Structure 1
Amino acid sequence: MNCKNCNNTLRESQKFCDECGAKIIQNRLKPKVLVAQVNEQFLCVDNKFLRTFIHLFNKPEMVIVSYIDGTRKKYIDVLQYFAIALTLAGIQLFIMSTFFKESLDFQSGFVDGLNSSSSQKDNPFKNINTDFFSKSQSILYILFVPFYAFGTWFTYYILNERVYNYTEHIVINLYYNAQIIILTAVFGTLFAIIGVEYYIVSLALFIPTLLYLFYILKRVFKDTFWAAFLRFIIASFIALTSMFIIGIIITLLFIILSI
């Protein structure tokens, strides 16, 4: 018998491949088998998803550093976890755009004050359209990761604390962003049910999610409070500045190519 994933030779009694670690599936796909697999991965008390989600809060260094060091059985793989987060964000957007469309209306209530506080002629929010941002949120989430990773990597690089390379900082920020996306999707949906606009929820979560990055950096790099806070401030500044610069470059290129 050979592994269907890597073609490694297996013993009949093996439950997992000793080469690639894949679980040996011998039964044909049936509803009962699919239900058992979903329960094992997501619904049972001691499953990887729930364990990864909880430990990213109370001991994020266990999840992140273990993955970077090569221990990848206990928690969900970082790319899989990020993919699950994007899927939840997509489900959230579908639910809200189908059943709670008013919660996605940026013009309803939130901008009304801005509209009334300035003249309609000069008001930059007059014709604001957020459909693009709503429909492209998954792409935006993906694009944020390399900037956040550059911010954290470059911060520790210039401070001569080069514990992890840029790719490993990508891992740190993938887990961080996945956790934030999951929280935003859950809270955004729950608050939409009671009539709170999604953009209000996003603004309310903005500071806590930034502080969560500080918390992760402190735990992963084992810094003191003030040392971690300084690195967090520098990393945030670098990430936001790099996004701003790239945004300007892309805008200028778009203008030049449109002439």
Structure 2
Amino acid sequence: MNCKNCNNTLKESQKFCDECGAKIIQNRLKPKVLAQQVNAQFISIDNKFLRTFIDLFKQPETVIIGYIDGTRKKYIDVLQYFAISLTLAGIQVFLITTFFKEALTFSPEFITTIENMPEQDINPMASFNPDIFTKYQGLIYILGVPVSALATWLVYYLFGNKRFNFTEHLVLNLYYSAQIIIITAVFSILFLVTGMNYLIVSSLLGLPTFIYLAYILKKIFKEDFWNTIAKFLIVMAFYVVIYFIIILIAAIVLFFSGYFKI
């Protein structure tokens, strides 16, 4: 018997190829087999998801540092976990844009205030479309990860904590971002279904997500409360500065491309 992926010679008793690592599939493709494959590859409903979700609250250092150190079987892979979070965010966007369009509608007073602002030709809010955040929510989440990773890496590097490199900080922020995206998406869907004010509740969810980041940093770097808070505040400052630089560069590019037609 040969491996169907790399043609390596296999023993009849083998369940995995010792050359490429592929699982040996001997059963015909049936709904049950397909469901098992989808579960194993993408969802991992066999308590792996719940274990990852719960332990990212109880002991985030075990999940994150474990992954960095090479533990890859106990918890969901960081990229897979982030992909699941984006899927939930996509479901949230679908519900908003299909059934709850009014959830993102500003009040008439706010719209009137914007329309009455002077110099509408140069007013950046004049053509502001709130739907852009919903439409490109997944992209915003993806781009936010390297920005937050750069912020945490720079702060701890400058303070002499060089234990983790940038890529490892990327893993930390991928797990953190996935966790808050999942929480935000699930609660947002519940709030939409129950008729609660989506914009207000979403704003209230912002503070706990920042507190959760400070909690993860304390667990990962094992510093006392005040050192953690100090570094957390500097991380937030770096985060704002990095985003400001990115927005400034984007504005300059748009300015020159619009006026000089680059």
The alignment's TM-score, normalised by the length of structure 1, stands at 0.88
Offset at 1:14? 3.0
How many percent identity over aligned positions? 56
What's the counterpart of residue 122 of structure 1? Answer: 117
Q: Residues 123-160 of structure 1, C-alpha deviation per residue, up to 9 Å, x if partnerless?
A: 87676421111100000000101110011000010001
Matched, 1:82 2:82: yes
Offset at 1:104? 2.7
Separation in 1 of the partners of 2:229 and 2:7?
A: 48
What's the counterpart of residue 223 of structure 1? Answer: 223
Matched, 1:135 2:135: yes
Query: Do the aligned partners of residues 150 and 6 (structure 1) sit closer, same or farther apart at CA in structure 2, a change above 3 Å counting?
Result: farther
Offset at 1:19? 5.7
Separation in 1 of the partners of 2:63 and 2:6?
A: 26
Separation in 2 of the partners of 1:75 and 1:196?
A: 34
Separation in 2 of the partners of 1:238 and 1:61?
A: 23
Q: Which runs of 5+ in 2 are unaligned?
A: none
Query: Do the aligned partners of residues 37 and 183 (structure 1) sit closer, same or farther apart at CA in structure 2, a change above 3 Å counting?
Result: same
- Judge which range, 214-223 or 20-29, deviates more: 20-29
- Whether the 8 Å CA contact 2:43–2:84 is kept in 1: the answer is no
Offset at 1:222? 1.3
3-state SS of the aligned residue for 1:80?
helix
RMSD: 2.4
Separation in 1 of the partners of 2:91 and 2:114?
A: 38
Separation in 1 of the partners of 2:248 and 2:155?
A: 22
Matched, 1:207 2:219: no
Q: Which runs of 5+ in 1 are unaligned?
A: none
Q: Residues 10-66 of structure 1, C-alpha deviation per residue, up to 9 Å, x if partnerless?
A: 43323345566554332232111123345567475x521111111111111111111
Q: Residues 146-195 of structure 1, C-alpha deviation per residue, up to 9 Å, x if partnerless?
A: 11001100001000110100011000000000111111110110000122
Query: Do the aligned partners of residues 119 and 52 (structure 1) sit closer, same or farther apart at CA in structure 2, a change above 3 Å counting?
Result: closer
Residues paired across the two proteins, number: 253
Query: Do the aligned partners of residues 218 and 17 (structure 1) sit closer, same or farther apart at CA in structure 2, a change above 3 Å counting?
Result: farther
The alignment's TM-score, normalised by the length of structure 2, stands at 0.87
What's the counterpart of residue 61 of structure 1? Answer: 61
- Judge which range, 233-242 or 94-103, deviates more: 94-103
What's the counterpart of residue 254 of structure 2? Answer: 254
The one-letter amino acid of 1:12's match is E
